[in-house]
Amino acid sequence: MIMTGDIRARLRRIIRMPLQWASARRLIRAQDGATTVEFAMVAAPFLAMVFAIMETAIVFFAGQVLETAGADSARLIMTGQAQTQGFTQAQFKAAVCGKIYGLFNCSAGLYVDVKNYTSFSSINNAKPVDANGNLQTGNFGYAPGGPGNIVVVRLVYQWPVYVSLLGLNLSDAAGGKRLIMSTVAFRNEPYL
């Protein structure tokens, strides 16, 4: 390629960098706000992940608290204390709520189902939800049985889920809620 004198002169002027090119070049080389821009790009996904991890931990913690309350409360039936004191479903629920205060909305969200069975193989432990994920409490009852009866105590709570991350959602019930259940099966002691 042959350069003419006019093109050479233009190239020399560009290389010498006039004042307007110098400020543009300085701006391109400046790295003062790079960290801020990079943090802004990473902050939203990072915070979403932190909140999702915290919510998952809280849901698992709530499930463990409900399991513990179920085991402790079922002991009232297993030992015959609930039967001899004439507990109703509301009184048994109050005994359960006494063990899980502060973490759950006991009055509006906790459901108690106590049934007795003839054998362990006849126990129905399916989730009490319909095809749409709605909780079905119509057949919940309170039948603690007598001495030697097989009893199943189920505690059901719909925990609200707020964070959904990349399609991984903790909710398994309608309305964006997680169904937390505690199921305790046992044979009543031969109490008097």
pLDDT in tens, the chain (192 residues): 555 667 767 666 666 655 555 566 665 666 667 788 888 889 988 888 888 888 889 989 999 999 999 999 999 999 999 999 999 999 999 999 988 878 888 888 899 999 999 899 999 888 888 888 888 888 899 999 999 999 999 999 988 887 766 555 666 777 778 889 999 999 999 987
Range of the domain at 110: 62-187
Whether 150 maps to a domain, the answer reads: yes
pLDDT of residue 148: 92
pLDDT of residue 44: 86
Whether 181 maps to a domain, the answer reads: yes
CA–CA dist 164, 68 (Å, integer): 27
Whether 154 maps to a domain, the answer reads: yes
Whether 170 maps to a domain, the answer reads: yes
CA–CA dist 59, 76 (Å, integer): 26
pLDDT of residue 73: 94
pLDDT of residue 89: 93
Whether 42 maps to a domain, the answer reads: no
pLDDT of residue 77: 95
Whether 32 maps to a domain, the answer reads: no
Characterise 174 by phi-psi region: left (phi > 0), alpha (psi -120 to 50), beta (else).
beta
pLDDT of residue 45: 85
Whether 34 maps to a domain, the answer reads: no
Number of domains in the chain: 1
This prediction's pTM: 0.74
Whether 37 maps to a domain, the answer reads: no
- String of DSSP letters for the chain: -PPPHHHHHHHHHHHT--HHHHHHHHHHH--TTHHHHHHHHHHHHHHHHHHHHHHHHHHHHHHHHHHHHHHHHHHHHHTTHHHHTT--HHHHHHHHHTTSTTTS-HHHHEEEEEEEESSGGG-----SB-TTS-B--TT--B----TT-EEEEEEEEEEE---EETTEE---BTTTEEEEEEEEEEE-----
